[in-house]
Amino acid sequence: MTAHKTYWLEHAWLGTHVEPGVALEVAADGRIGALRTGADAPPPGAEVLRGLTLPGLANAHSHAFHRALRSTVQVGSGTFWTWRDFMYKAAQSLTPDTYFALARAAYAEMALAGITDVGEFHYVHHAPGGASYADPNAMGEALIEAAAAAGIRITLLDTAYLSAGFGRAPEAHQLRFSDGTAEAWAERVSALRPREHALIGAAVHSVRAVPADQLATVARWAAERQAPLHVHLSEQTAENDACQAAHGCTPTRLLADHGVLGPRTTGVHSTHLTDQDIALLGDTTTGTCMCPTTERDLADGIGPAVRLQQAGSPLSLGSDSHAVIDLFEEARAMELNERLRSRTRGHWTANALLTAATEDGHAALGRPDAGRLEAGALADFTTIALDSVRTAGALPRLGAETAVFAASAADVRHTVVGGRHIVRDGAHTLVGDVPSALAESIAALRG
């Protein structure tokens, strides 16, 4: 429970515009009890947040252990598939204890970047070699506890990963990802329990990693619980080609035929789609999570985000491999990538891009009650400085444009989750030295 508290927001983005002077009351249940505009001065006893306050950002796609790859994978050249070899090596070194430490630090970095909720696409389930831990969900529990220790919310998207590719048995480095069958996956994940800061969702790693005849089991598990269901979709043309060879259809068509698509489902990346794929995703209101920094870092390509949204697919954003953790950069990159491809400007307004980073991102993670500054919503919000070298000089009423097209994670001054200050004046209140926590946890994986 959270003590009743009032915050005074110098400027607040309310979804369509920036409002000066807003008093926000936090109720005892950690939700926004009331929101009052026209508050020219802070009410007595209110906590003052100078700058622009936004709803908390939603990082809809994360692999926490990828944070250990930053810079290391930038040496030399290669492809997505050569990058994957570095990723497998990092995954092999994880234990429940080292994963907790790394994820706690990575999630603290997210809080410092204004992120209040993370969708953790989790597939490192077992010990190296594939043996279960004494608690078969030890790795997932480590991530849930890491989010609590860092003060943010998590949707654990427990991921089915059963095959090296279209029915091939897992390779040695993939054994710890696999439960053997979708039924065994469902039995294990059913033992996980949600808690106040944590929801349990599901994921299909990809059509290459879950055999077609087992897709429906994962989809059914999510449907029975009304849980979010995410899937890596058409990130690489090689996956599309292999799916055509194995099943005579695209990955999107295969997912549709096995009941995976729908309004609780989010396709991640969705980079290489046909016109029919886009129509399928739109007609089923399947969401799309774009991760522009990762997609360009891995040379994946530019996904058809504009056409997907026009077709009816809600957009969200993720930092994925954590080459950087900055949702402002992801929002900016989605628009700027489209400008490069089309040679025209203004595919989304700043308000629309912030909506993808907030309200629609939280909805993709199973929290439709987050991502808005309004009475009844979760009291999760973040404040960026309007007087940094990046943001100074702009008119406050153009705060949305400043946030998307100029600001960075370094401009975050405050992050509040459930009414509780997690980042205050740019410092994390629960993790005293986040850079040291990152450095130490990453060094521990190197041995």
**Residue numbers annotated as active site:** 269, 320
How far is it, in rounded angstroms, from Cα 364 to Cα 100?
24
DSSP H or E segment with residue 55: strand 47-55
CB 393 within 8 A of CB 375: no
Specify the DSSP class assigned to residue 78: -
Question: Which residues 6+ apart lie within 8 Å of 427 measured at CB?
Answer: none
DSSP H stretches of helix in 233-376: 237-247, 251-257, 275-283, 292-297, 305-311, 327-342, 350-357, 359-364
DSSP H or E segment with residue 147: helix 138-150
Distances (CA, A) of 385 to 144, 146, 188, 392: 30, 28, 44, 8
DSSP H or E segment with residue 139: helix 138-150
* Amino acid symbol at 249: C
Question: By C-alpha distance, which of 104, 102, 67, 61 is closest to 86?
Answer: 67
- Helices 182-189 & 212-225 angle (0-180, nearest 10): 20
